[in-house]
Amino acid sequence: MSLLWYVAYGSNLHAARLDRYLRGGRPAGGLRTYPGCRDCRPPRRTVPALIPGGVYFAGESRAWTGGMAFYDPELPGRAAVRGYLVTAEQFADIAAQEMYRPPGADLAGIRAAVATGRATLGPGRYETLLRVGERDGRPMLTFTAPHRAVAVPWTRPAPVYLGMLARGLREAHGWGVARTVDYLSGRPGVAGRWSRAALRTLVGAAHVAVADPPSGVQVEFGQSAPAAGPVDMNGRSAGDGWPAGSFSGQEGCHSNVFGVT
């Protein structure tokens, strides 16, 4: 297993946010600097998807303050996600950084999750790996908390954090303000804690920051891909590519560019 789909449902829906996990650095508005992955090349492809279950907000983020996004496959409905085709090592390094560990985790937990559908790396909030599907013959994996949404108090997410989700939903799924507000307003932790008026203001500002480049252009990883409607797990990809010149280790860190189709 060399490649897999990392399924993002929280702030990593926003490509510029994921870029800090890959290349290192501090995202705008964040309180934490990330070391980056050992292999910092951009994803080979990105795709929008909908998976069974839902997203909720709980705990207290040390990077953003406010509630953190978690995925519960037992919640009703479908979660809007973004798949990034990365190496198994990159996925391991992203997961390690989520738990404030240095990159370099072994792949045993990933192999177990692929084989059985679930693996526990530890007791931490993002140390439960789930296999949520398969696409183009590659496993789709995400990480979340070990508990159900109903087992913990829900927490209001901070504006900067929720804004990243809004930008990511625009980038990956092409959603407008109304649909993004409808989706976010129903999430446990947001419902009853964010008014629709406040959400509309936040989402509107977040979407202004998302520019949709014309199809076929080269865009830096961290910028937005063209609008694409939400699809199920076996739908068409929204963009792909590793450009020439970014295939050898650190070389790709300085020219993270991917083609949009």
Kindly report the three-state secondary structure assignment for every residue of 28-93.
Answer: CCCCCCECCCCCCCCCCEEEEEEEECEEEEECCCCCCCECEEEEECCCCCEEEEEEEEEEHHHHHH
Q: Check pLDDT > 90 for residue 127.
A: no
Q: Which of 203, 142, 131 is nearest to 170 (CA)?
A: 203
| pLDDT above 90 for 4 | yes
pLDDT attached to residue 20: 83
Average the pLDDT over 196-221 and give the result. 69
Summarize pLDDT for 86-97 with one digit per residue, the tens: 999 999 999 888
Q: How far apart are CA 162 and CA 168, in angstroms?
A: 10
Distance from the first to the final alpha carbon of the chain = 26
**Prediction pTM value:** 0.81
C-alpha neighbours within 13 Å on the C-beta side of residue 174: 13
Distance of CA 68 to the CA centre of its chain: 12
The pLDDT of residue 121: 85
Q: Report the alpha-carbon angle 161-164-169, nearest 5.
A: 135
- Residue 220: which pLDDT band, with cuts at 50, 70 and 90? very low
Residue predicted with more confidence, 15 or 253: 15
Q: What is the pLDDT of residue 29?
A: 61
How is the chain split among helix, strand and coil, in percent rounded to 5? Answer: 30, 25, 45
What is the structure's pLDDT at 28?
67
Confidence check: pLDDT of 82 > 90 = yes
Query: What is the model's pLDDT at position 49?
Result: 97
- Strands 3-8 and 78-87, sheet pairing: antiparallel
Give the burial class of 159: count Cβ atoms within 10 A of its Cβ; 0-12 exposed, 13-18 middle, 19 or more buried: buried
114-119 own/partner pairs: CB under 8 Å, 24+ apart: 114/1, 114/4, 114/139, 114/141
102-137 burial, b at 16+ Cβ within 10 Å, e below that, comes to ebebeeebbebbbeeeebebeebbbbbbbbbbebee
Q: What 8-state DSSP symbol labels residue 223?
A: B
Give the pLDDT band of residue 128 (cuts 50, 70, 90): very high
Q: Which element (helix H / strand E) includes 144?
A: strand 138-144
The sheet carrying 239-240 orders its strands as: 118-120, 128-135, 138-144, 3-8, 78-87, 45-52, 239-240
What's CA 134's distance to the chain center, in Å?
17
Residue 141: other Cβ atoms inside 10 A: 25
pLDDT(217) > 50: no
Are 95 and 87 in contact, with CB atoms under 8 Å apart?
no
pLDDT at position 27? 64
pLDDT of residue 35: 63
